[in-house]
Amino acid sequence: MKITPLSAVGAEVTEVDVKGLTDAQDAQLKAAFAQHGLLIFRDQDLVETDHVDLAERWGQINTNRFFKAHADHPQIALVDKAPDQIQNIGGDWHTDHSYDQVPALGSILVARTLPETGGDTWFASMYRAFDQLSDGLKTLLLTLNAVHSAKHVFGNKSEYMQTNISQKRMSRPDLADALPDPIHPVVVRHPLSGRPVLYVNPGFTIRFEGWTQEESAPLLNYLYQSAVVEDQVEVVDWRTGTIAFWDNRATWHFAQNDYPGQARRMHRITIEGEALQAHQ
Ligand SMILES: O=C(O)CCC(=O)C(=O)O
Ligand SMILES: [Fe+2]
């Protein structure tokens, strides 16, 4: 097995079959995941049950509440774009599940149908997003918490959700509207590496705790903008046999929507995480 760091974020894993991992390879992958926050496996050949087995090596599966599930394997969420659909899923910078009290660890995404060109996924490191800030701003952020929510994305009032419901890609907006909005530290002690990580994101963070949305927006926007400097973004191209496994606490991702008229189908399994602690 070969683990090669990528240029901006993550590492590429080759010369291994994820269906037959030894305990030693498993330990090596867990260390690489903690260090890099993103593993891109190439040249894999796995069916749905192999995907489930791989995910279970990392933890308990979180069955998605909103996405359409695979008909035979409900633990697998379908991340689909049909040729006649305009909107894709995940087409902006975000990290998944920050709207949960105990956010998911990450997801394992397997390519099933790919467009001829395009459909890359971009990743950004939230270790780097924090590390590059000034000491003054770091000190302030270490004292702050932020409120996150799913309502504006997966709730009844979301246009994105209404489109997805009409296209049968998502459901259960009432569930999103009923979720209590969690409060998480703005700088989290990463559960696997112990390093500080910036834990706000454009998808689901509403405001800083104790601040209004208007007061929060300028600083949040500054953090968002400084987190995705062009040469610090990893552009992951999908090929048949590619699997991406990302850490929701250490990275953001952004699915590119540049393949009009073509289909793209991915299978996603999400793994439960743990409660987040502030980095002191
Ligand atoms: O389709 C992709 O590349 C990623 C979509 C996304 O945001 C997700 O599956 O969480
Ligand atoms: Fe996502």
- Beta carbon of 79 within 6 Å of any ligand 1 atom: yes
pTM over 0.95: yes
Ligand nearest the Cα of residue 270 is: 1
The residues near 49 (Cβ < 8 Å, ≥ 6 apart) are: 73
Classify residue 116: in a domain, yes or no.
yes
Closest approach atom of ligand 1 to CA 94: 7
* Nearest-CA residue for atom 1 of ligand 1: 255
- Is residue 240 situated within a structural domain? yes
Two structure tokens written together for 236: 């992951």
For residue 132, give Cα distances in angstroms to 12, 71, 173, 229, 234.
24, 44, 37, 11, 17
Any domain includes 140:
yes
Distance 37 CA to ligand 1 centre (A): 15
Q: Is the CB of 253 under 6 A from ligand 1?
A: yes
Q: Is the CB of 201 under 6 A from ligand 1?
A: no
List pLDDT tens digits, range 151-188: 999 999 999 999 999 999 999 999 999 999 999 999 99
Q: Is residue 47 part of a domain?
A: yes
Q: 203 in ligand 1 pocket by Cβ < 6 Å? A: no
CATH number for the domain spanning 163: value is 3.60.130.10
> What residues form DSSP beta bridges with 69?
77
**Residue 51 CA: distances (Å) to CA of 65, 213, 243:** 19, 40, 10
- What pLDDT digit, counting tens, does each position of 112-148 carry? 999 999 999 999 999 999 999 999 999 999 999 999 9
276 domain residue, yes or no: no
pLDDT given at position 280: 86
Q: Say what the pLDDT of residue 107 is.
A: 98
Q: How many angstroms separate the Cα of 208 from the Cα of each of 14, 136, 211, 220, 260?
A: 41, 17, 5, 9, 37
Q: Is 243 in the pocket of ligand 1 (CB under 6 A)?
A: no
Q: What separation in Å is there between the alpha carbon of 122 and the centre of ligand 1?
A: 10
Is 9 contained in some domain? yes
- Ligand number nearest to the C-alpha of 79: 1
Which residue CA neighbors atom 5 of ligand 1 most closely?
90
For residue 256, give the ligand 1 atom closest to its CA.
3
Those residues of the chain that have pLDDT short of 70 are none
Residue 22 inside a domain? The answer is: yes
Query: What local confidence, expressed as pLDDT, does residue 246 receive?
Result: 98
Probe residue for ligand 1, chosen from 154, 160, 234, 253 as the CB with the greatest number of ligand atoms within 8 Å:
253
- Whole-angstrom Cα distance, residue 209 to residue 181? 11
Residue 278 forms part of a structural domain: no
The count of structural domains within the chain is 1
Ligand located closest to 40 CA = 1
Domain limits for position 74: 2-271
Q: Which ligand is nearest to the CA of 118?
A: 1
